[in-house]
Structure 1
Amino acid sequence: MSKKRGLSLEEKREQMLQIFYESQDFYLLKELEKLGPKKGVISQSVKDVVQSLVDDDLVLKDKIGTSVYFWSLPSCAGNQLRNTYNKLESDLSNSKKRYVELVEHRDNLKRGREDSEERESALEELKAVELHHKKLKEELAAYADSDPAAVEAMKDAIDVAHSAANRWTVVFNYISTSKRAT
């Protein structure tokens, strides 16, 4: 009784890719399910393994009529790696350019903001003005109840509440008199 360990997903992927690279042919899923066990990949997992290869663009898939064909050529993998490398290189160069631009922008913003007596006094004055503004806002909030617009709004609300109370009083009287009549 030997305990033979199955292949990991990565090993299965490599074995399935070997099938494609060795023959450089087109396959149906049924054919791959027959070839998979010869490479150590059980036929039940062939579909999942091939789909993962398709998802990673290592195997190409095309539906022709009612059949779905899978293929992968060694040159395709090389081209894909070159394209990925070129894309990463361009991303890196763009990032470096952006970094240089941001450093220059930061340096430009720092100019004129050096610590000086004039700047310190301007900052202190700004803090004083902000504090005064905050106090005025608090004072304004304290007098908000006496605001003519707020008082007018309260009067309007009182009128609406009064008319609603009268309306419900009439309805209540109507209901109570109609109950007595029956």
Structure 2
Amino acid sequence: MPYIDLPAHLPGITGLLEYSQHTAGPIRELTQILLRGDSTLTQGERELIATVVSYNNECVFCTTAHTAAADLLLGETETCEMVKNDIDSAPVSDKMKSLLKIAKLVQISGKAVTPEAIATAKENGASDEEIHDTVLIAGLFCLYNRYVDGLASVTPANPEFYQYLGERIVNHGYNRLPQGYDHLKK
């Protein structure tokens, strides 16, 4: 049961963003830029960052939603599971492994990011912009995870919900749907 009165037909982050559209606008815009804007990291790679941070923050809603989006973007389901459990065994580049490890450090604390972690990422080919975006995505998802869990937003148990949400994220990005969300009322 959410701690505040949220739209019953909108679980997770969507209900929170609809509750406060004036604060949602800038958050959505930043998320759209970081996860769907121009980048040398693929959209799937950026969703992996969101997934690993959400997983390590134990935010079930965000983990499940971004796993679904990453799986769709990557065209398979194994990579997300491997990244969540053992980055080193995941079928991603050494650069991406280094960036995911930086994201996990940010999830612990910004001060947990070490010069060695940055040097390893650079040695593996990560650019300053990729490192910057990784840290910012990780920090943003810490915000999202704490927002969803801190207000006890509804976390559906039905896997079909997350499949739909993953498709919505992939197909529409992070901006508010132009028609809103009343069509989701049942």
Query: Structure 2-normalised TM-score?
Result: 0.21
Higher fraction of strand: 1
Query: Structure 1-normalised TM-score?
Result: 0.22
Higher fraction of helix: 1
Higher RCO by CA contacts (8 Å cutoff, separation 6 or greater):
2
